[in-house]
Chain A
Amino acid sequence: MQIFINDSAFEVPEKASAEQALVSFGATPPFALAVNGQFVAQGQYPQLMLQDGDRLDILAPIQGG
């Protein structure tokens, strides 16, 4: 199925978990995850089953003012 990671299309197997998607994408700590605009805590990654069309945002530290 197709999901979107940081606005780019990304293929994952049916019933993939958030954790599987993050590993496939190559997300490296430190980062935090939001799915469809909602924060997902680290401890929920293995249990969260993704749906076709889900939009994931993986955010990492940057400079800020």
Chain B
Amino acid sequence: MRDTLRIYGQEFNSRLLIGSALYPSPKCMQEAILASESEIVTVSLRRQNSQAAGDDFWQLIKDTGLTVLPNTAGCHSVQEVMTLAQMCREVFATDWIKLELIGDDYNLQPDPVALLEAAEQLLAEGFKVLPYCTDDLVICQRLAALGCEVIMPWAAPIGTGKGILNPYALQSIRERLPHVTLIVDAGLGVPSHACQAMELGADAVLLNSAIAGANDPVLMARAFANATLAGRQSYMAGPMAVKSTAVPSTPTLGMPVWHQFNE
């Protein structure tokens, strides 16, 4: 049986979603996206101040042939989210939306209260909502209860690269919401962080800064692809039980007893 990532009824082989921002060049962005083996890439909308400003970028993304996930980055109110989501749906021809609704500009922490209201309205408008949220179990439960089939808690604040600040919280979300597609989004810095998220039971990870900000984004994209797969395989394999005392791995039966003569 194939082990696939499921998002609103669609199946994907890769468990790494990748962002398209912050790369040193458009060519590097395209190469890193392809090296990551991601099948889903995040995009956004901003003001068109010069003719065809976004056209080259959009053509590069279209050339990858990947599924696009538009975001509502930068929104601070439910109304802003609703307007931007509708604009995204028209431009990108998808009803998927990565819901971002910031409550604090210092750490770009999502506003948990407004997030619930926005998710409810978006779902009512027919969007397939992928909410970026904190690792608060109850907020995640409420989002799932509203009808979000995907939940995207942070590992740490966006762009920090700190890794998973609260593994217990993510593990609790996994255990309490076993049927929700859980994507750890934001704050991962190195491939071992992605591996850890997958070992905790995440269905996927979403990355941008950690790849785009590396000295060699293309190589780092490959490293994250490998780490994500390793973490998933580890989770599926089921790790050994941790013990408090040493247990020899080499059989002791048949061991010559020379050490008795040395005592």
Q: Which residues of A are at the interface with B, using a C-beta cutoff of 8 A?
A: 6-7, 26-28, 30-34, 37-39, 41-42, 57-65
Query: Which residues, 42 to 88 on B, are CB-close (under 8 Å) to A?
Result: 42-49, 51-55, 57-58, 61, 70-71, 73, 79-80, 82-84, 86-88
Q: Which residues of B are at the interface with A, using a C-beta cutoff of 8 A?
A: 19-23, 29, 42-49, 51-55, 57-58, 61, 70-71, 73, 79-80, 82-84, 86-88, 90-92, 158, 208-209
| Distance to closest chain A CB from B102 (angstroms) | 13
Q: A31-B48, A62-B57, A64-B73 are in contact. Are A39 and B43 (CB under 8 A)?
A: no
Question: What are 13 residue pairs bridging A and B, where the CB atoms are less than 8 Å apart in the complex?
Answer: A6-B49, A31-B48, A39-B87, A58-B47, A59-B84, A60-B46, A60-B53, A60-B55, A61-B43, A63-B21, A64-B70, A65-B21, A65-B208
C-alpha spacing A63/B58, complex, angstroms? 9
| Other-chain residue from A6, A28, A34, A58 in contact with B52 (beta carbon distance below 8 A) | A28
CB–CB B48/A6 < 8 A: yes
CB–CB A6/B61 < 8 A: no
Residues of A within 8 A of B92 (CB): 61
A59-B47, A64-B43 known; 9 other A-B pairs, CB under 8 Å? A30-B54, A32-B86, A32-B91, A39-B87, A57-B47, A60-B53, A61-B61, A62-B46, A65-B158
CB–CB A61/B19 < 8 A: no
Residues of B within 8 A of A42 (CB): 90
| Other-chain residue from B42, B55, B71 in contact with A28 (beta carbon distance below 8 A) | B55
Q: A28-B55, A32-B90 are in contact. Are A63 and B83 (CB under 8 A)?
A: no
Which chain B residue has the least Cβ–Cβ distance from A63? B21
CB–CB B54/A62 < 8 A: yes
CB–CB B54/A61 < 8 A: yes
Residues of B within 8 A of A6 (CB): 47-49
C-alpha spacing A28/B54, complex, angstroms? 10
Residues of B within 8 A of A28 (CB): 48, 51-52, 55
Residues of B within 8 A of A38 (CB): 83
Residues of B within 8 A of A37 (CB): 79-80, 83
| Distance to closest chain A CB from B229 (angstroms) | 22
CB–CB B54/A64 < 8 A: no
Q: A58-B48, A59-B47 are in contact. Are A31 and B71 (CB under 8 A)?
A: no
